[in-house]
């Protein structure tokens, strides 16, 4: 961290950051990567499979074109290869963003009671366990940086959202993993936190048929209002957690959702929508 030539603070001066999950410019991961570069960080992205080519294209649209590693977070060999690359490239990591989530269609949109274990296992592996796998793999590199910061992306894992089904369960597990990782990696100085964003129109959102219902709920409840097309506020929170400004914050779920998480059903909005008294809109 240092002062810029204009007297402002550069939050991420010379920090080395790994960002997973960049598929489009509308993603939280892209917003975080772009803001990190603007705040002085050097960034590497990751992608895999059919999306790797897309990630490489999107990486060229950052303020500074970034390198892209091939990294499937569910493949131990990919994780080991990425760690070896980053060790040779930088010798350390100051920040990591886990921006990976997936649930098969049968595990969403009413599939909670009918989804088989194979679909549930896939959702948990990608959306929950891979967070631990990535942090564990990067731990030596983070330690070399004096501890560093691991950030994951969450969504209201403490409530039921119709249609979210097994992804909601996976996010609840993610929150628990965050706490356990904070405990496990704290002794080496590594901070582990989640950012719980409100609903954004990302690639992941297109998989949820009830997404528009989520957006309506946010428009009704968020005291600060909510723009489902703007990922920058969430990206800013990620960068703040990567920075040195929050040195004693770990195991936390930071809500960046316009305040909707703090507000129950709005009776005025419910009446306007024609709901019965006492019923959520």
Are 258 and 226 a contacting pair, CB within 8 Å?
Answer: yes
Active-site choice (15, 16, 129, 164): 164
Are 47 and 70 a contacting pair, CB within 8 Å?
Answer: yes
Residue with tokens 């969450």, as numbered in its chain = 154
Active-site choice (15, 129, 171, 209): 171
Please indicate whether residue 16 is annotated as part of the active site: no
- Distance (Å, rounded) from C-alpha 275 to C-alpha 281? 6
Neighbours of 248 (CB within 10 A): 5
Please indicate whether residue 171 is annotated as part of the active site: yes
By annotation, the residues acting in catalysis are 164, 171
């Amino acid at each position: 961290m240092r002062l810029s030539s204009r007297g402002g603070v550069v939050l991420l001066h010379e920090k080395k950051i790994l960002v997973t999950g960049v598929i489009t410019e509308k993603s939280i991961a892209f917003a975080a990567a772009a803001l990190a570069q603007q705040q002085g960080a050097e960034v590497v992205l990751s992608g895999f499979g059919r999306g790797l080519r897309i990630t490489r294209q999107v990486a060229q649209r950052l303020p500074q074109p970034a390198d892209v590693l091939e990294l499937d977070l569910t493949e131990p060999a990919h994780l080991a290869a990425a760690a070896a690359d980053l060790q040779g490239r930088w010798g350390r990591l100051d920040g990591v963003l886990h921006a990976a989530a997936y649930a098969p269609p049968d595990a969403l949109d009413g599939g909670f009671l009918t989804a088989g274990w194979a679909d549930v296992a896939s959702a948990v592996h990608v959306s929950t366990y891979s967070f631990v796998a990535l942090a564990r793999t990067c731990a030596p590199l983070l330690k070399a940086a004096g501890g560093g910061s691991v950030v994951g992306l969450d969504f209201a894992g403490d409530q039921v959202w119709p249609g979210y089904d097994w992804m909601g369960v996976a996010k609840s597990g993610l929150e628990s993993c965050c706490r356990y990782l904070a405990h496990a990696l704290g002794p080496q100085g590594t901070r582990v936190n989640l950012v719980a964003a409100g609903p954004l129109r990302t690639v992941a959102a297109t998989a949820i048929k009830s997404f528009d219902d989520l957006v309506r709920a946010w428009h009704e409840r968020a005291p600060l209002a909510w723009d489902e097309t703007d990922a920058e506020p969430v990206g800013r929170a990620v960068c703040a957690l990567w920075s040195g400004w929050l040195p004693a914050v770990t195991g936390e779920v930071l809500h960046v959702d316009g305040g909707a998480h703090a507000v129950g059903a709005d009776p005025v909005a419910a009446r306007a929508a024609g709901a019965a008294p006492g019923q959520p809109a």
